[in-house]
Amino acid sequence: MQEPMKIDSEVEKVLSENTPTNMRSNNVPKKEGSVIIELTDGNLNDENCSIELARMFKLIGKNAPIELHLYDNEGLSILPCLSEYADYNVVSVHLDNTQVSNVSELSVFGGLKYLSLEDAPLNDVSDIAKLTQLEVLILTSTKITSINGLDNLANLRELRINDTAVWDISSLPKLKTLEEVILSEMSNLRGESLRCLCHLSKLKMLWVDPEWEDIKIQVLHKIKGEQQRPVFFGGDPENNSVRKKRGFSQLKLSEHIFRLVTR
């Protein structure tokens, strides 16, 4: 078992000044957990991103899991060189509502498990296909038209490609570990193509548009018949719309130790 991460005096100062009371170090268990680097105030851009990341990374060790939150920065379109942080254990990157369209720099994070690019102008998944440890991938409202290449993400459990122009999902059955898929608001997708999802033996949740009711019921019956367990298909039971949430979703990490934020 790894020893608890030590929090030095410099980090303690950052915590006391920038962390909500219920997350300050004296109230949080001193045990191994994830560190959140949060730069989400809208002021991050192509010019200052490298400086801000360097300032935050120097405060933390290389062993604890790191969540990198860079969402809601519309001035950020280019990720800086991240190779100097390759030894850090970055497990989560959030780039929602940014202008980032190239994620090739993320390949230095070999243990990356969660990536979210909702409302970002990404139009190609070829670089994402190299992130083979991904468990959760959110590409909602991006510019992608194809998911070809993602079939080598052997650990992927959750995939959201809703509100995109993707039309071919025939490669999804190759992702044997998929448990949750969101395919709503996809005007180029034909309902008949859903039938291929019958081969996803671990599928637990499928979110689709109401007009595909008959087909999704057939898929449901086939999976339930083969697996003898419940599977939920459809939109949100409360408002019949796809859930919008930001966070780890089904990906569970250990309890946070502290959060590094900027003002």
pLDDT band for 227, please (50, 70, 90 cuts): low
- Give the count of beta carbons closer than 10 Å to the beta carbon of residue 1: 5
Domain ranges of the chain: 9-261
The pTM (predicted TM-score) of the whole model is 0.78
Task: Identify the band that residue 232 occupies on the pLDDT scale cut at 50, 70 and 90.
Answer: low
Would you state the pLDDT for residue 216?
82
pLDDT at 237 over 80: no
pLDDT single digits (tens) 165-181: 999 999 999 999 999 99
pLDDT computed for residue 226 by the predictor: 60
What is residue 218's predicted lDDT score, i.e. its pLDDT? 85
Question: In which band, very low, low, confident or very high, does the pLDDT at 219 lie, cut at 50, 70 and 90?
Answer: confident
The mean predicted confidence, pLDDT, of the chain is: 80
The model's pLDDT over 181-212, given as tens digits with 9 standing for 90+, comes to 999 999 999 989 999 999 998 998 889 999 98
Average pLDDT over residues 209-235: 71
Please state the three-class secondary structure of the chain as a single string: CCCCCCCCHHHHHHHHHHCCHHHCHHHCCCCCCCEEEECCCCCCECCCHHHHHHHHHCCCCCCCCEEEECCCCCECCCCCCCHHHCCCCEEEEECCCCCCCCCHHHHHCCCCCEEECCCCCCCCCCCHHHCCCCCEEECCCCCCCCCCCHHHCCCCCEEECCCCCCCCCCCHHHCCCCCEEECCCCCCCCHHHHHHHHHCCCCCEEECCHHHHHHHHHHHHHHHHHHCCCCEECCCCCCCCCCCCCCCCCCCCCCCCEEEECC
- pLDDT tens profile 75-129: 999 999 999 999 999 999 999 999 999 999 999 999 999 999 999 999 999 999 9
Class of domain 9-261: alpha beta
- For residues 98 and 71, the answer to whether their CB atoms sit within 8 Å is yes
